[in-house]
Structures are given as C-alpha cells and as structure tokens.
Structure 1
Amino acid sequence: MPYTPDFVPEALTRADVDATRGPLVLEFGTPWCGWCSGAQPHVRAAFEQAGAEVPHVKVEDGPGRPLGRSFKVKLWPTLVFLRDGVEVERLVRPPNTTAISEALQRLS
C-alpha cells in the first residue's frame, strides 16, 4: 500500500491496530490542518523513495476520537510507526523527507 492521500474518519480500532502483523504507519491529522498540509509533500516523497509496501493509514483525528487518544496524539500531524501492533517510532510534525524516510527504513 503506497502513500495514502486523504485523511479518513476512524476505520480502525485500537484492537485492530494491535492485531496488525508487520509494519504499519498511522498518520493522525485533519484535512484542514495547515501543519498537516505542509507535511504532505515530505510524507509522499518519503513513501515514494522507500519503495516498500508499508501500509500507510491517514486517520482523521480530533477531540473524542478514541484511536488518536489511545496513542496520546497531541499535535498534528503525528506519524506512528508500528511493527506487529507495537509502536517503534513516532514523528510529530516531521521537519523533512529525510526524517520520515529514515523512520521507514528502520521499520522495513
């Protein structure tokens, strides 16, 4: 699964995420968030450079959204890198493509 362009309302539960096998990147944010929009060229480029089939799920976050709260997301965008349902790395407001690419390499 390559880069996912759109944030979607929560489709996964924490139990779904915890049961996921292999790598997974959750990106928490919203379509109207300026920080999220600004990070998208970096996120897209990193996934394109990685060439790996790491699933990327963009989760529309906000108050009362249980998945984001379960990961204690406070700022957007927040990228949570998981392996077998366990968080191995987190980037909050990633500054550039390199930071995301390096995290993807460590995850793969």
Structure 2
Amino acid sequence: MNINVVCPHCLEVSSIEKKESYSEENCTQCGESLLDSRPIDGNANILENFITNSDLPVIVDFWAPWCGPCIAMAPHFELAAMAMPLQAQFLKINNDDEQTLGSKLLIASIPAVLVFKEGKEIDRFVGARSSSQIKEWVKQYL
C-alpha cells in the first residue's frame, strides 16, 4: 500500500510505500530525504497543499514571535516533529503573518496546535506543551 506525502523540500507530492519504519526514503520529485521532519514554515497556500495532499496527519503550530509561550514551546514542537518522520507532517504558521487564515480557523489564543486528517481539522490544543506531551497527543491520530 502506498501513501502520499508532501516533500518538505520541494513541496511536491511523493507516493511512497507505507512501512512501520523507514531507514531511507527520498522524494520522487527532487530526490531529497523525506525523513527530514523538522517543522516547515508555512502559510495558507502551503497548509492547503499539505492538508489536501498528505495522507499523514498534518500538525500545525500557530504562533507569533512576541508570544512567550510560543517561543518556549518551539524547541519542543521541533523535537516532537523530528521524532516522528513519515508518521505526521509538522508545520509552523506565524499567526501575525496569516491573520486571515487564523480568523478562518478560529485561532483565538496562541500557541494553538491543530491536527488535520483527510483534509479536515480533527482536534486542537491551546498552550505550550513539552515534546513528550506533543508526541503522545499526535500518536492518537496516527
């Protein structure tokens, strides 16, 4: 069985074999590693690309550079993302830069972390969490 994932480098869709774990997996378009699971800086168009085309859960952190809890959580969000290659795809969206998107998704407080699956938001949490808390929360949607 194959799954579609969005390449974190070229943002094109790759169809890859679904496995329990991966030691190596490269983008079918640009050849870069799909195991690079650091959060991608996103915007409305990038988010739409991911939630439309990825078969993996898409985890999105809405944050702002002036937000203390957002800054405190940032390394934890990155650690969680790096621990889950090809299990989920992680994005960070600056809510100040994407206010229309934030309004559309009813982002009232930040940090706000949303999970999208099959094109729809299925859950969210507000407030800073540790990397282990983020990973445990994401695992229920795998």
Change in Cα spacing, 1:14 to 1:91, as seen in structure 2 (3 Å) is same
TM-score normalized by the length of structure 1: 0.76
Q: What's the % identity of the aligned pairs?
A: 20
Correspondence 1:83 to 2:113: no
**Which of the numbers 11, 16, 19 marks the counterpart of 2:52?**
19
Name the amino acid aligned to 2:119. Answer: G
TM-score normalized by the length of structure 2: 0.61
Name the amino acid aligned to 1:33. Answer: C
Whether contact under 8 Å (2:63, 2:112) holds in the other structure is yes
**Secondary structure in 2 aligned to 1:94?**
coil
Structure 1 CA distance, aligned partners of 2:97 and 2:75? 26
How well do the aligned residues superpose, as a CA RMSD in angstroms? 2.7
Gapped runs of 5+ residues in structure 2? Answer: 1-7, 9-36
Structure with the higher helix share, 1 or 2: 1
**Secondary structure in 1 aligned to 2:69?**
helix
Count of residues in correspondence between the two structures: 106
Greater than 4 Å deviation, 4+ residue runs: 13-18
Q: What does residue 56 of structure 1 align with?
A: 90
Gapped runs of 5+ residues in structure 1? Answer: none
**Secondary structure in 1 aligned to 2:83?**
helix
Larger radius of gyration: 2
CA shift for structure 1 position 84:
1.2
Structure 2 CA distance, aligned partners of 1:54 and 1:14? 14
